[in-house]
Chain A
Amino acid sequence: MTTDVSVRSSIEAAAAPEHAFTVFTDGLDRWWNRDYHLLPGELKRIGVDPHEGGRLWEENDAGDVCVWGRVLTWEPPRTFAFLWLIGPDWKVPAPDATGSRVTVTFAPTDRGTRVDLVHDRLDAHGPGWEGVRDGVGGEGGWPGLLRRYAAEA
């Protein structure tokens, strides 16, 4: 069995790569779906420390902060990669949590920027992602997705 379990997603945006890179990283809090968070309560802020080895973190309305990722590559405006420590259960990662990897590249096009995202090493979250069954009733993750579907239907 292959260990390269990955998903890919791409989108094109009408802006220069410099701007796209900035919005993806510094502007993470502007576009992140507020339904996705790990700490209890409401998501107050989510952010990225802008350097290699930096944290990806979130803060809730009680002022608690948790780290859910690490910057692996910080090469504006072309490449941003980070370690993703969150399982599909959206629980606060254990100190020894293994992570998958998200690599985002920004390439100039006629229209603006093509953004390619690869989330690989997903087998780090499986097999038997047993947490999902316990965690689905939590405040983050699945219920938020469901609400969105309900709203669209």
Chain B
Amino acid sequence: MLDALGDPTRRSIFELLAVGPRSVAEIAADLPVSRPAVSQHLKVLKEARLVSSTAAGTRRVYSLDPQGLAAVRGYFDQFWNQALAAFAQAVEKPEEEP
């Protein structure tokens, strides 16, 4: 399930959707990725139940799956990976002045 977030572009899309629902075109405008590539990534995220989509008029809007514990896991997975990396740096560098 979390493999879906192993890809940096998919992580970026996931983070973007955390800010608010977006269409494929809007995602593609914010990232250096083509629309077809965005669609492909969204498909993977949907299959992992991280993202869901709804029709809004003529367009389809994507958002984080609000029912999905997968999204909660994805969130904390990223959070702790980043936190531990920062922690390890702090462990290995000399104590800073308070």
A interface residues with partner B (beta carbon < 8 Å): 5-7, 9-15, 19-20, 23-24, 27, 30-33, 36, 88, 113, 115, 117, 119, 122-123, 125-130, 132-133, 136-137, 142-143, 145-146, 148-149, 153
Decide: B78 and A145 in contact? CB cutoff 8 A: yes
How far does the Cβ of A28 sit from chain B's closest Cβ, in whole Å?
9
6 closest A-B pairs by CB: A31-B90, A9-B80, A13-B91, A11-B84, A13-B88, A7-B77
13 contacts between A and B (CB under 8 A): A6-B73, A11-B84, A12-B88, A14-B92, A19-B91, A88-B76, A122-B72, A126-B72, A127-B68, A129-B71, A132-B18, A145-B15, A146-B18
Decide: A129 and B72 in contact? CB cutoff 8 A: yes
How far does the Cβ of B14 sit from chain A's closest Cβ, in whole Å?
10
How far does the Cβ of B80 sit from chain A's closest Cβ, in whole Å?
4
Inside 8 A of A133's CB, which chain B residues have their CB?
20, 63, 66
Q: At the interface, yes or no: B58 with Cβ under 8 Å from chain A? A: no
* Distance of A19 Cα from B84 Cα, bound (Å): 15
Decide: A128 and B80 in contact? CB cutoff 8 A: no
Inside 8 A of A7's CB, which chain B residues have their CB?
2, 73, 76-77, 80
Q: Given the known A-B contacts A136-B19, A142-B15, are A33 and B75 also in contact in the complex, defined by CB atoms under 8 Å?
A: no
Q: At the interface, yes or no: B56 with Cβ under 8 Å from chain A? A: no
Decide: B84 and A117 in contact? CB cutoff 8 A: yes
Do most interface residues of chain B lie in helix, strand or loop, or is the interface mixed?
A: helix
* Distance of A142 Cα from B73 Cα, bound (Å): 14
Inside 8 A of B68's CB, which chain A residues have their CB?
127
Decide: A146 and B15 in contact? CB cutoff 8 A: yes
* Distance of A30 Cα from B88 Cα, bound (Å): 11
Inside 8 A of B76's CB, which chain A residues have their CB?
7, 88, 119, 122
Q: Given the known A-B contacts A119-B80, A127-B67, A133-B66, are A142 and B19 also in contact in the complex, defined by CB atoms under 8 Å?
A: yes
Q: At the interface, yes or no: B11 with Cβ under 8 Å from chain A? A: yes
Decide: B16 and A146 in contact? CB cutoff 8 A: yes
Q: At the interface, yes or no: B3 with Cβ under 8 Å from chain A? A: no
Inside 8 A of A5's CB, which chain B residues have their CB?
69, 72-73
- Closest B residue to A30 by CB, please name it: B90
Q: Given the known A-B contacts A14-B92, A149-B11, are A31 and B69 also in contact in the complex, defined by CB atoms under 8 Å?
A: no
- Closest A residue to B71 by CB, please name it: A129
Name the interface residues of B12-44: CB closer than 8 Å to any CB of A: 12, 15-16, 18-20, 32
